[in-house]
Amino acid sequence: MDLRGIIPSRVLGISLKGKIVESGMVNYWLTFANNSGTAAPNGTVANTDKYKRYSLNLQIMPTKEFQVTLLGDYLARPSVNAFPVSGAPPSTVGNGVLTAALFAGYNVKDEFNVGVEGFLRSLANGQRNSDTTGLTSVSTIGLTAFGEVNVSPELVIIARYDYYDPNSDSRAKGDGVNYIIAGLAYKPNKNVQIIPNVQVETYEKLASGRTYDPSVTGRVTFYYTFL
């Protein structure tokens, strides 16, 4: 979701988190945050409007290896002009953004780690109908699955697949994207990883029938942990 700009990885606000079950099997995290970002270019924190973000995370951990996280996030936004109706006074309608997400992951330390996450984002009254009869919501969907398997203490196979559709309306064709990463991580010591990998992105065919060639990028990533 951070990659696609659905929800930022950091916000400025206040939060409350704790245990619902004393054992730590069920936990919560409430956040009330600014809508307008975290900092201005000069480094000062700026809050330029009155609209806020409200988030709730619920984490369920039946075992230490397995967890499920539920997310609900609402971003308040200024109202927008409603579609004009002849003889009626001008009016506005809501334009808030509601996002729901579900994550499940299973991790066995030094052996393997797998996870899957899906989200649905709805922007209220975000687009005009093609027949100009009014406004409808824009639904955005995304799905990701990832995994890593330890072949040995020094070698780890990694892979990730994303599907992203910024507008799932049947009339909005050609905007879906498939994103794939596969690689091999070499760990000469506990702080260093050298990861040759390939990134592939494929694109949905346009309604006109036009197609685009996939984007393929080979990379070598150097990763260092200071801790």
186: CB partners within 8 A, 6+ apart: 154, 155, 193, 194, 195
CA-derived radius of gyration, the chain:
22
pLDDT tens sequence across 130-140 = 655 678 889 99
pLDDT band at 3 (very low <50, low <70, confident <90, very high): confident
pLDDT averaged over the chain? 89
pLDDT tens sequence across 6-46 = 988 788 899 999 999 999 999 999 999 987 655 554 555 55
What is the distance of C-alpha 115 from the center of its chain? 14
* pLDDT average, residue stretch 80-104: 84
Task: Indicate whether 54 pLDDT > 90.
Answer: yes
- Res 127: pLDDT: 83
pLDDT tens sequence across 155-177 = 999 999 999 999 988 777 778 99
Q: Greater confidence, 227 or 13?
A: 13
